[in-house]
Amino acid sequence: MWRLAVCGLLLGAITLAVQASEDPTESLAGVHDLTPSDFDKYVNGGKHALVEFYAPWCGHCKHLTPEYKKLGEAVAASPKLKDRVVIAKVDADAHGSLGEKFGVRGFPTIKFFGRGKSTLSPEDYSGGRTSEAFLQFLEEKLEEDRGFARIESLDQLASAFLTASDKTGASAALKAAADKLDNVQRGAGELYAKFAEKASTKGSDWFQTETARLERLLGSGNVGTSKASEISKKLSVLTAFMPEAGKDEEEEVTKAEE
């Protein structure tokens, strides 16, 4: 009899543990619980944001919780992702105004808010509901957004630098243009000037070599948040000096003319 009682207690404990792990209202590491009062603080176009809109009673939302927990932990532990991506969830049953604002009609609904884009028109996430699928989606979005730190006026000078016979003069022109930028863009502008100066003495192959070095460093996981942010910005600016960047721009112009 006592064995049955012990088994019953163990089964009850296991059931409670499973239920707790599938509670969508649970606070999850790396995942922000948002309300109407702080939604715009975290989802404002400054970073990519993946937001789950859920209801506590929703069975599918409960089953998603363990995967969303793994996603939050993975993003928080990734130097590449944690300073550029926000993972969040909203109890749209308790905060119906947010659900209505973003056209939520069922649960769970997952929306992607792209960096630099209007938060009024998020993208519906329709991919897999596993942490691996979420991570792959986010990494693809980051790859598409590699040029986040680039400045259009300096991109033209960077392209001219690649074909200039007088690298020193082209580098000086970049520095002069960068010095005229406002405080918001000056940091990125200084990178343009610094990179051009380096390549003018080391050769244009330096851009590829430096890109490979920084990507290895970022992928190592041995850099802190601020350092990872700095590296990501450098990698973004470096894309302006890649021959493919200028080629893509030319193709876009050609298509527009056609």
Known catalytic residues are 58-61
Q: How many helices (H) and strands (E) does the chain have?
A: 11, 5
* Contact status, residue 230 vs residue 238, Cβ threshold 8 Å: no
Burial class (CB in 10 A: 0-12, 13-18, 19+), 235: buried
Burial class (CB in 10 A: 0-12, 13-18, 19+), 64: buried
CA 89/CA 41 separation, integer angstroms: 14
Pairing of β 48-54 and β 32-34:
unpaired
* Contact status, residue 221 vs residue 79, Cβ threshold 8 Å: yes
Q: Any bridge partners for residue 61, and if so which?
A: none
Matching residue, tokens 């009062």: 37
